[in-house]
Amino acid sequence: MAMEIKKVAVVGAGDMGHGIAELFAVNGYEVKLMDKFPAMLDKAKARIGASLDKLVEKGKLSKDDSDSARSRLAFFSDMGEAVSDADLVVEAVPESLELKRSIFKEASSHAPKDAILASNTSNIRITDLGEATSRPGQVVGFHFFNPPMLMKLVEVIPGSKTEPAVVDVMEAVGERLGRTVVKVLKDSPGFIVNRINAADTLLFCLILDKGIATPAEVDNFARGQGLPMGPYELLDFVGVDIGADSLAYFSQALSSDYGKGTTFARMVKEGNLGKKTGKGFYDWSTGRAQIPKVPATDKVSLMDIFALEINESVKMIEEGVARPEDIEKGVTLGMNRPFGPITVAKDLSNAEVKGKLEELAARFECNIFAPTRSIAEGKLRDAIEGRLSPPAPGAQVTHAAAPPAPAQEPPTEAEPIRLERLEGGVARILISRPRLNLINASVLDGLDRIVSELSNDPDVRVVLVSGEGKVFSAGADLSQFYNNSVAFMEFARKGARTLRRLSDMPKLTIAVLKEYALGGGLELALACDLRVATEDVEIGFPELTRGLVPAWSGSQRLPQLLGLSRANSLILTSERIDGKRAYEMGLVNRLLSQGDPDDAAAKYGAELASSQAPVSTMLAKKLLNRGSEVPSDVGLEMEAMAAGILFGTEDLREGISAFLGKRKPEFKGK
């Protein structure tokens, strides 16, 4: 078997095939694109050329790399010529079992005996395709998402006879293509992402069958929840026939319940396939869906969808199809979502999910909507946290338990916030969530941990707070899932508490503002003692334009810093200002000259670390932060007490001695 893939043949030059061929070519593979229809090849060649030109125009690919990719592409209408010297054959023809089996049979007869045969099928069992060849051990699923050049996920699926080495090779190929690889553990219809999608698709078909709501009512509801497209608009966009074919296949391969929906099949018979025919649920004659402006339905809720997706996820865990972390990764990347069903399940009780599923099963008379075994037994938490016991070897069960954990720990995600220790008594806290360094619960947890670590570190005197790359922070990450208003309120409290700890930290803190300091990012900066900024940084509170308010102490800190009038201007109008204007207002303490703002801030921090007495800094911060919270006579008493404490320190004697001796002090924090 070919262990090193250099030459790739892609069979099928349609929407997926031409994109897969382009992706391989851009990443250094020699590619032959095959289609028996010359017109399809001509169209594919033009589309690939236009795509490469666009990548060059956007600066994502150099002209030389584009030309090199073109030189690695060849086009064929004969299967034998296309696959005769291929190390890897990738099938990307329409979702027809008979068609795919015929392609695999023909490719197997012409490809080298050690070549791997892969399918881009989104639903069909890989085992069924492998049976059409003389080499089922070398047949594997390699499922991209549309469009392949943009979507970062690929599912690798073994058939029942696929050799483990083949799976390893394809995982390496996926990584070389720059894709996140999700490994499906067991061959099952729909694999991970489309298995979950199928339950959603059936729900939306049954909603129309039963006249519960119109497509426009549901889509307007979905858009109101922040989704870019509603489910029916999306079905129109990809093709109603795709949804209908998916349900038909699942009804044969998984459960007859998937065949209960009738509306989609009827639309296919009528030729109303959506955008591709100009009409589906909506009129597409202008190139965009003409969605009627009708009130959003109240007959459908996000909880309906969440419950079904959690149910299917748990079924896959029970059956040994996939692990929880891979399901989450697959849905977020494959369906382009901010979070997946495992994250949602962690914020719901077993009873909530079970109750909703029982309601849906009864409402739609559909058994696949009923709670799966683990949820019915109250073991949702065990399932999503990977604590189900593995099945006995060879056991035949409807819902098998999840497989044991791998011998090696899976790679951990990059830390969303990290600590760097610089020279001269300076430390730097970096938010690391490219591209906008949005602040989520994990960032807050990391910040809280780092504040505790640095607060008791005598070697650190100045702490810089910045963002990885060009951006400070564009605000809070609002794409997280919150079960209810109480959960969101607790997230707000968590942010305010964490920033209060940063503010109270017994070190001098400096925020380094660059490119964007918005919303929660600006609140983070306000919790620091000083703010330095580039002249062109964009600063502001956009919360009111999102239907929110600053909730991490911004509405309290800003008036104290700038006065009520200027705070009103920034918060109530959502005005955005640049660094120069912020400096003139007193929001920023120092403007940074051209060059790397983090380097400039590090030099400034080192200057302050060497010139400011640590104990004096700590006490001065307490006086400044608490002075506005107490009566003036109490504040004056606090000030006198601080002076008395400092009188007995070594740093005071050193400061006076250095002043009289006209030298730089060497403070020890004592």
In angstroms, the CA 129 to CA 159 distance is 9
Report helix, strand and coil shares of the chain as percent, to nearest 5. 50, 10, 40
For residue 555, give every residue at least 6 positions away whose Cβ sits within 8 Å of its Cβ, in sequence order, or none: 549, 567, 571
Tokens of 78: 């004969």
In angstroms, the CA 349 to CA 437 distance is 31
Q: How many CB atoms lie within 10 A of CB 54?
A: 13
- In angstroms, how far is CA 49 from the centroid of its own chain? 29
In angstroms, the CA 164 to CA 663 distance is 71
Tokens of 390: 């593995």
Q: Running DSSP on this structure, what letter comes out for residue 547?
A: T
**β-strand partners of 538:** 516
Among residues 104, 174, 102, 167, the alpha carbon closest in space to that of 145 is found at 174
Is 211 in contact with 297 (CB distance < 8 Å)?
no
> Which three-class secondary structure string do you get for 200-221?
HHHHHHHHHHCCCCCHHHHHHH
CA atoms within 13 A on the CB side of 523: 26
**Alpha helices per DSSP H over 97-239:** 97-110, 126-130, 164-176, 193-209, 215-224, 231-238
Is 276 in contact with 304 (CB distance < 8 Å)?
no
The letter for the amino acid at 38 is: P
Which residue has 């067991």 as its token pair? 186
Catalytic positions, written as ranges: 523, 543
In angstroms, the CA 432 to CA 450 distance is 14
Q: Is the peptide bond before 435 cis (omega within 30 degrees of 0)?
A: yes
In angstroms, the CA 331 to CA 89 distance is 26
In angstroms, the CA 9 to CA 665 distance is 71
Burial 1-32 (b: 16+ CB within 10 A, else e): ebeebebbbbbbbebbbbbbbbbbbbbebbbb
Between 240-253 and 263-270, two packed helices, what is the crossing angle to 10 degrees? 130
Give 130: exposed, middle or buried? Use CB within 10 Å, 0-12, 13-18, 19+: buried
Tokens of 256: 């007859």
In angstroms, the CA 542 to CA 573 distance is 9
Among residues 209, 616, 442, 344, the alpha carbon closest in space to that of 450 is found at 442
Q: Are strands 7-11 and 73-76 parallel, antiparallel or unpaired?
A: unpaired
For residue 315, give every residue at least 6 positions away whose Cβ sits within 8 Å of its Cβ, in sequence order, or none: 372, 399
